[in-house]
Amino acid sequence: MPPIYEKPSYEKYDYVLIGGGSGGSASSRRAASYGKKVAVVEATPYLGGTCVNIGCVPKKIMWHAADLHEKMTQHASGYKFTGLGTPKFDWAVFKLQRDAYIRKLNGIYASNFEKEHVEFHQGFGNLTSPNTVEVTLPDNKGKYTLHADKICIATGNQPTVPSDEEIPGASLGIASDDFFDLVEQPKRVVVVGAGYIAVELAGIVNALGSETHLIIRGETVLRTFDPAIQEVLTPWMEKTGMNIHKMSKVVRVEGQKGQTLTVHTNKGEKIEVDVLLWAIGRHANTQGMGLEELGVKLDAKGDVVVDEYQNSSVDGVLAIGDVQGKGLVTPVAIAAGQRLSNRLFGPEKFKNDKLSYEDISTVVFAHPPIGTVGLTEPEARKKYGDDAIKIYKSNFRSLYFSMIDEEHKEPTMYKLVCAGPEERVVGVHIIGQGSDEVMQGFGVAVKMKACKQDLDDTVAIHPTSAEELVTLR
């Protein structure tokens, strides 16, 4: 195991980062590649942050398991596979295997630090000046100070959970991060929230056979996404057996942890479940770090306010990733961190390097998956005016489902949002099998400011779902 440092190795570092997640790791390694003295302060024993440990990676692994369960139980018979019996998912054993893979990734992160001469200091970091970070060792076993020319805040965010004062019994539930600590598959689950985390986790347990309830405040899930996505996904989730409680709020929770919970809604419903999972949003990890005392400006949500070059309001203190409230996905933190180190420590050609936060592709691992980039239709109409917008849309089912029973045929919807007389593609919104993989290439096209004619000029790949995006009329 690579070393974990418990004291400074230098009188002064070039760069100290607080947070060893995706952004902190990427930025530190890029800085070290320029020969700089770099240290990362991480409160947990595991590098990789939310994404590696309790986010994207274990979530996608669970999505694969759920997707495979659907294929075996609902699709295989359509392709005339017989003798499969009733597949049973062993959650407990799979958790051990999944966790072992995550520990392997942690080891790779740590090994990369050692190879690239980035110091890993395990402890809680707080700023005592614009050039000093105080490190408190685990279990308060001691403190020491790291001096640096530049300090970067890369502490990410954490789930927001209501207090018992706000909702009596709320603490009987778990946060979305705790989902991966569940040792056994819950038979009955309530997920509260309509965002992508709620949709993904509810989709996983539902596809694996748990009785699943989703409590949302509005009529549809994913309310910040293009309306066409909402209109396709919400009814399909209901069709797959998920119980969606619309226009609803949790008002009280009764029971004891580890036993049956009764979730009461504002509509008078009583839902008995084994697990209540809150997925109602996240907030920045900025508490207790001495930021406000130092003059680092935070917004109303607690995010670090930064300019286009990731500078905070205090000279020499920077912030990247979820803690600064923009582009809350792992690749954004990585890209911003690498560009920041290029600008701070790289050659002259990178002196103005920065990340553009426009047209960032994202996916949602729902069932079926979703891909999106650019402006939604309402956003585009607001920006360019109704007369300047033209919509191209197609609803269909992929060829894969031609052999599958009607009730299990997943929907696919592809939509282009085009603006101006040149019909520049300013938004792509797709849902359906394979949309997560399709999105990456079309994300490049939008970033390059492709127009509808560019897509029309591209010869289709047949038979694929993706070809629909270059044949829309």
What is the residue-level pLDDT of the chain in tens, covering all 473 positions? 667 899 999 999 999 999 999 999 999 999 999 999 999 999 999 999 999 999 999 999 999 999 999 999 999 999 999 998 899 999 999 999 999 999 999 999 999 999 999 999 999 999 999 999 999 999 999 999 999 999 999 999 999 999 999 999 999 999 999 999 999 999 999 999 999 999 999 999 999 999 999 999 999 999 999 999 999 999 999 999 999 999 999 999 999 988 999 999 999 999 999 999 999 999 999 999 999 999 999 999 999 999 999 999 999 999 999 999 999 999 999 999 999 999 999 999 999 999 999 999 999 999 999 999 999 999 999 999 999 999 999 999 999 999 999 999 999 999 999 999 999 999 999 999 999 999 999 999 999 999 999 999 999 999 999 999 999 99
Length of the chain: 473
DSSP β-bridge partners for residue 174: 277
Per-residue pLDDT, 3: 79
Q: Global pTM?
A: 0.96
Task: State whether residue 147 is helix, strand or coil.
Answer: strand
Q: And the tokens for 104?
A: 């392997």
Tokens 């790291």 belong to 146
By C-alpha distance, which of 190, 282, 290 is closest to 243?
190
Residue 84's pLDDT is 87
What residues have CB less than 8 Å from 63, skipping those under 6 apart? 200, 203, 204, 365
Backbone angles phi, psi at 30, to 5 degrees: -65, -40
Alpha-helical segments (H) within 268-386: 291-294, 330-345, 377-384
Residues 6+ apart with CB under 8 A from 429: 225, 226, 228, 229, 370, 371, 372, 376, 413, 414, 415, 417
Active site residues: 462
Helix (H, G, I), strand (E, B) or coil at 327: coil
The label of the residue with tokens 């009188």 reads 11
What 3 state SS string does 410-457 have? CCEEEEEEEECCCCEEEEEEEECCCHHHHHHHHHHHHHCCCEHHHHHC
Q: Residue 1: what pLDDT?
A: 61
Buried b (16+ CB within 10 A) or exposed e, 207-231: bbbbbbbbbbeeebbbeebbebbbe
